[in-house]
């Protein structure tokens, strides 16, 4: 999938998210949107890194390590059905996926001279 398509997919997912406050019901769709976001974010990182390699002919071991980490962690995400319990670990996996993505993007910015 193209970078533009994946960005549009993330924008669509974020557009469907809602703010949940204390005493609000958390819907299955609230959790499932976060899990879908993680899956697409990993795909986008992979596509961005592939574009970098195609254009520069270079690889960045740290980025490859973080892609591997994010990819392995996204396997722990799960969708939930109405009435199913959502545990702290279900929410923590979102951070566990997004952190290596953040690190990889920072490394890509450095390689492109956009960050020191």
Q: Provide the number of structural domains found in the chain.
A: 1
Q: Which residues contact 36 (CB under 8 A, 6 or more apart)?
A: 13
pLDDT for residue 66: 98
pLDDT for residue 29: 94
Q: Check: CB of residue 97 under 8 Å from CB of residue 74.
A: yes
Task: Indicate the helix (H) or strand (E) that contains 59.
Answer: none
39: in domain: yes
22: in domain: yes
93: in domain: yes
In this prediction, residue 26 has a pLDDT band, given cuts at 50, 70 and 90, of confident
> Average model confidence (pLDDT) for the chain?
96
116: in domain: no
Domain carrying residue 93: 3-111
Report helix, strand or coil for 83. Answer: coil
9: in domain: yes
pLDDT reading at 16 higher than 90: yes
pLDDT for residue 87: 87
Cα of first residue to Cα of last residue in the chain, in angstroms, is: 30
pLDDT for residue 91: 87
pLDDT tens digits, residue range 36-88? 999 999 999 999 999 999 999 999 999 999 999 999 999 999 999 998 988 88
Give dist(CA 85, CA 39) in Å, integer: 21
Of 101, 65, 68, 84, whose CA–CA distance to 26 is shortest?
84
């Amino acid at each position: 999938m193209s970078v533009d398509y994946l960005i549009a997919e993330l924008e669509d997912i974020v557009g469907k998210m809602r703010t949940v406050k204390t005493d609000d019901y958390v819907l299955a769709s609230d959790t499932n949107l976060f899990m879908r976001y993680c899956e697409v974010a990993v795909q986008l990182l992979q596509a961005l890194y592939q574009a970098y390699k195609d254009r520069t002919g270079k690889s960045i071991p740290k980025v490859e390590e973080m892609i591997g980490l994010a990819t392995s962690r996204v396997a722990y995400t799960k969708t939930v059905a109405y009435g199913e319990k959502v545990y702290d670990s279900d929410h923590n996996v979102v951070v566990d996926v997004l952190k290596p993505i953040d690190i990889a993007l920072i490394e890509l910015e450095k390689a492109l001279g956009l960050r020191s």
